[in-house]
Structure 1
Amino acid sequence: MTKRKKAIVISLCISVLLMLAKFTAFFISGSNAILTDAAESIVNVIASSFAFYSVYLSTRPRDENHPYGHGKVEFFSAFVEGTLILIAGIIIIGKSIYSILSPEPLQQLFEGTLIIAIAGLINLVTGLFLIRTGRQENSMALVADGRHLLTDTYTSAALVVGLVLMLLTDLYWLDSLLSVAAGLYIVFTGYKLTRESVGGLMDESDLKLVSAVVDILQDHRADAWIDVHNLRTQQYGPELHIDCHVTLPYYYDLTRVHKEISDIDDLINEKKLRETELFIHADPCLPQCCHYCRMKDCPVRQEPQSKDFTWTIENTTRNKKHFENELL
């Protein structure tokens, strides 16, 4: 079993146990605040189950129907999880407002508070573990599940503080008010997660990742790589796909062009940002490139180098050679 699969199985088992514990706390106390936490635990179990399936599917090898692999399913998993969080938050807010208007007596509040506090600590440890593993394995599904558990931890911590206040002050109307506040936070978290997953499904650029790739190319730049442009990235689960255009001296033969492109491929992969597949289109240089070309002893140079471009996100992601950017 892979590291990703082990992590999500651990998350699923813990989610089931904590859901049972929180509902036990609700039944013995009758607290709406505790019910809020228990209801979110149902979402945790459903989301962890879906995340487990998505992690299993994303690790399957490429096939004829999925030439880029199955990694995109992790973004879909995160979208479903974010949607479930949103729905849970809205239901919690509705139930809490109803309870403000129709309050019910509370019982065994201390025992219920203790159960919620212990469950929150367990969720904190599990959530941090999932986020760390997800980042190591480049798994959106694990990171999303970890963030979900951290959200549960924060709401549990807020509820514990409120429940302790109720125990000390007998202000039981705080119960439903805390539920509303927790519900609003849950809705906000669900929105953020849904927004991020939609961005991944629509191949939204990860600017930090693109910046890291550009920095690697700039720091190890060969003289023959006259410019890089139209650089784009796509993420498929743990795999990264990059395509770009590289301007090379027009007099290079096919063997030399292949070597330069292979050097770029090796450079990106040896830095181990993540497993990366590159699609590089070679462009021939033009006379207009001479003034920023670094090639020494170039046999066809028409003017000396008078300018040097530092590769940045701005000039490498445009679909224009650097001299064309100067004309803008």
Structure 2
Amino acid sequence: MDAKLSNLQPQKKAILIALCISIVLMLAKFVAYFITHSNAILTDAAESIVNVLASSFAFYSIYLATLPKDENHPYGHGKVEFFSAFIEGTLIAIAGIIIVFKSGYDLIYPKPITQLFEGASIIGATGLVNLFIGYYLINTGKKHKSITLEADGKHLLTDAITSAGLVIGIVLIKLTAIYWMDSVISMLLGLYIIYNGYKLTRRSVGGLMDESNIDLVETIINILQKNRKEPWIDVHNLRAQQYGADLHIDCHITLPYYFDLNQVHQEISEIDKMINGNADRKTELFIHADPCLPACCNYCKMKECPVRQEPFRGEIKWTVENATKNQKHFDQ
């Protein structure tokens, strides 16, 4: 538990930095709106409110992830990170919808816009800050396997992109004096925000519903294939679930039926050590041992098998297709 707590300290630090900076940037953007009365700038300012709310919830979710397993949460509390990402995606989408409707109203009933260059300067500066903080959160999230930090970082990168588009739009409005472009730009940015909110929500729902992560499964299968031993006749019914930074895997492994319980335990323990020694995150394995059958002999590599009934013909390479099915490989 001490190791887990120390691993989460960089995550807490990163999200706390993002939260404090988000509050400052939100205030700066509202200052820009009040001096310009630009809908496009209001769009960016409204999204900053979402940034602050999302970072606040992200900080709380990372705190929950530090809590130890208990009777009600035998897999720990890591899945709260998916819920955090879902909340953030939902807030982003709601902000985008509000922005689109507000911009549509002001397109019909326009308001005067002033001091656009000053407003553009403020928005440009906030965009650069969000760009650096976004990359910082994404890199920290990838390093520590935190979907919460990655989600918050991608959100800030989206904010930086919209700010860049906003600055370009404001300059065009000022140069052309076509002021209705303000609401059009705002609506386009609102649609882009909705799209990003959908993508983030879709990913989080997949995690909450234990959607199969093919990349994770393929990584584990490759490790097993690269380090496979003679007694490991086949691996099947392999499934992976992610709980925050931790990975939980269960699978069936076919072993020689004449192995005693000590030998079976030793083989399973070796697989556990091998996965945790090669995978890039803490992994908890639940391995069910199946006895071999005569039909397994043709792909079994045991050289001194006392019960072999037919000769070895060739190894069946473990892949996502055969290792995830709930059947021994002779049934393929």
What TM-score do you get using the length of structure 2 for normalisation? 0.97
Alpha-carbon displacement from aligned partner over 1:207-261 (angstroms, at most 9, x marks no partner): 1111111111111111110000000001111100000000000111111111110
Stretches of 4+ aligned residues off by more than 2 angstroms: none
Aligned twin of 1:280 = 287
Question: RMSD of aligned C-alpha atoms?
Answer: 0.8
Aligned twin of 1:108 = 115
* C-alpha separation in 1, matches of 2:307 and 2:52: 66
Aligned twin of 1:170 = 177
**Is 1:10–2:9 an aligned residue pair?**
no
Deviation at 1:111, TM superposition (A): 0.7
* 3-state SS, counterpart of residue 113 of structure 2: coil
Aligned twin of 2:133 = 126
* C-alpha separation in 2, matches of 1:118 and 1:136: 28
Of residues 224-233 and 135-144 in structure 1, the stretch that sits farther from structure 2 once superposed is 135-144
Return 5+ residue gaps in structure 2 as ranges. 1-5
* 3-state SS, counterpart of residue 216 of structure 2: helix
Give the fraction of aligned pairs with identical amino acids, expressed as a percent.
66
Q: In the alignment, is the contact (CA less than 8 A) between 2:220 and 2:279 conserved in 1?
A: no
Return 5+ residue gaps in structure 1 as ranges. none
**Is 1:216–2:220 an aligned residue pair?**
no
Q: In the alignment, is the contact (CA less than 8 A) between 2:235 and 2:253 conserved in 1?
A: yes
* 3-state SS, counterpart of residue 232 of structure 1: strand
Q: How does 1:228-267 map to 2 (within 5 A)?
A: 228-267=235-274
**Is 1:43–2:50 an aligned residue pair?**
yes
Aligned twin of 2:199 = 192
Give the counterpart letter for 2:265 in structure 1: H
1:151 to 152, 158, 182: 158
Aligned twin of 2:276 = 269
**Is 1:72–2:79 an aligned residue pair?**
yes
Give the counterpart letter for 1:271 in structure 2: N
Q: In the alignment, is the contact (CA less than 8 A) between 2:103 and 2:187 conserved in 1?
A: yes
* C-alpha separation in 1, matches of 2:164 and 2:232: 54
* 3-state SS, counterpart of residue 219 of structure 2: helix
* C-alpha separation in 1, matches of 2:212 and 2:160: 30
Aligned twin of 2:3 = none
**Is 1:26–2:38 an aligned residue pair?**
no
2:208 to 194, 201, 211: 201
* 3-state SS, counterpart of residue 287 of structure 2: strand
Deviation at 1:22, TM superposition (A): 0.2
* C-alpha separation in 1, matches of 2:187 and 2:230: 61
Deviation at 1:173, TM superposition (A): 1.4
